A and B are shown apart, each in its own frame.
Chain A
């Protein structure tokens, strides 16, 4: 049992790293490379950091003393009350702050948010409260859509805002209008995928799956893979095998191809076709090198197939 949960954890850890490699890491590294040129802090680090370190230590000590003193007399110097709308104008910082309506998680390590979902919430911080989401537009979402009908980026932004606020109906309407615009900058496919997710979440499986099937031919391989995997998860086991077969026939790039082959093998096992699954895994082993994202899954399949009765 211990071994199994740790193996699963390792698989999840590797998958998260691989996904980050594929999407976020290159951009982050470019930003970090650029920071060397842009950041005076980094350029002057060797000279000013001792001075800054001493100053920060003094400031931090002072701040902690303030907090401790305030707690000693029973009131927080940083207590702020947010209205139901989720945004507020703070007296000290001049910018507006929007906090997510979801329960606080570790994404806010320096922030404490308390209060029920539909009541005013108390926010306490020892630091300046930083915005965690873009400011919500004040205009009603419907009229915003009408006003920005010609600007796909604005419609996409409004749809994201609506989703962030939990307004799925408005988000669906906006995404639908964006899909109807037939933009050529990739927004069409992204909007279509989001719309399909919302439709599936609403129980409109047929409409959602039709939309996902059309996205399987998207020029963005990552988006196409997302659509196919989502389509497969929304299908029965038998249909799932067909979905992956159709996708693999399009010769997707690595590692999406290997991921689809692993999922197809899993579906075949569930469908009772151990021989088909074994053939699929053998094909994976024949490749030049398995991507790390599927290595643990392939090992798991090997173990599962070894337990299966012979052909």
Chain B
């Protein structure tokens, strides 16, 4: 590996970054990570060290993920899949119901998939990963005010979706099955 960075370290970094962007349960996570790794391998010779390596890899991951979202969203719009609708929670006693945490995480990623690619990346990096807006602007190569406005809009859109989802409504937990 050029620059003295070990291959496992690059794999781990790119994998973690891509997983943040598309979610751990995404069926194409491994393929998207490999696509990003290919681009990282090709681009390492051009990497000048002016930014952090993780910013460089994050930029590639974000581009790969956004291309994937955009392609998928075009496909969904063309054929009107009903996968854009988040399924209603099942009623009655079920094995799956016993794992509310897993179900909540699954539904969160479904809601995130309904956001536009840029908003999704902004809220993932800015809210869930706690990256500052300046670094997100560097990763996405866009002005910082754009990042801030997309982040604000993404938060509002996501909150509106989550408010209608019973798995995210607040209230004391504790009732058994």
Q: List the 7 closest pairs (A to B, CB-CB), nearest first.
A: A16-B105, A20-B24, A5-B162, A12-B104, A2-B159, A45-B38, A4-B170
Give the complex CA separation of A82 and B24 in angstroms. 30
- Per DSSP, are chain A's interface residues mostly helix, strand or loop, or mixed? helix
Within 8 Å by CB of B158, from A6, A29, A39, A103, lies A6
Interface size on A, residues (CB 8 A): 57
Asked if residues B19 and A32 are in contact (CB atoms below 8 Å), the reply is no
A-contacting residues, B118-134, CB 8 Å: 127-128
- B-side contacts of A124, CB under 8 Å: 79
CB distance from B116 to the nearest CB of A (A): 16
- Interface pairs (8), CB distance under 8 Å: A1-B159, A12-B101, A15-B104, A16-B24, A16-B25, A31-B30, A104-B82, A109-B28
Residues of A within 8 A of B16 (CB): 25
Q: Scoring A residues 32 to 51 as 1 if CB is less than 8 Å from chain B, else 0, what string do you get?
A: 11011001011001100100
From B4-12, B54-62, B140-148, the one touching the partner chain is B4-12
| B interface residues with partner A (beta carbon < 8 Å) | 7-8, 11-12, 15-16, 19-20, 23-25, 27-30, 33-34, 37-38, 41-42, 72, 75-76, 79, 81-83, 87, 93-95, 98, 101-102, 104-105, 108-111, 113, 127-128, 155-156, 158-159, 162-163, 168-170, 172-174, 176-177
Residues B38 and A28 in contact, CB atoms below 8 Å apart: no
Q: What is the minimal beta-carbon distance from B109 to any residue of chain A, in angstroms?
A: 8
Report if A188 contacts B (CB, 8 A). no
Please report the number of residue pairs spanning A and B whose Cβ atoms sit closer than 8 angstroms.
146
Taking Cβ atoms with an 8 Å cutoff, the residues of A that contact B are: 1-2, 4-6, 8-10, 12-17, 19-20, 24-25, 28-29, 31-33, 35-36, 39, 41-42, 45-46, 49, 103-110, 112, 124, 126, 197-198, 200-201, 203, 230, 233-237, 240, 266-267, 270
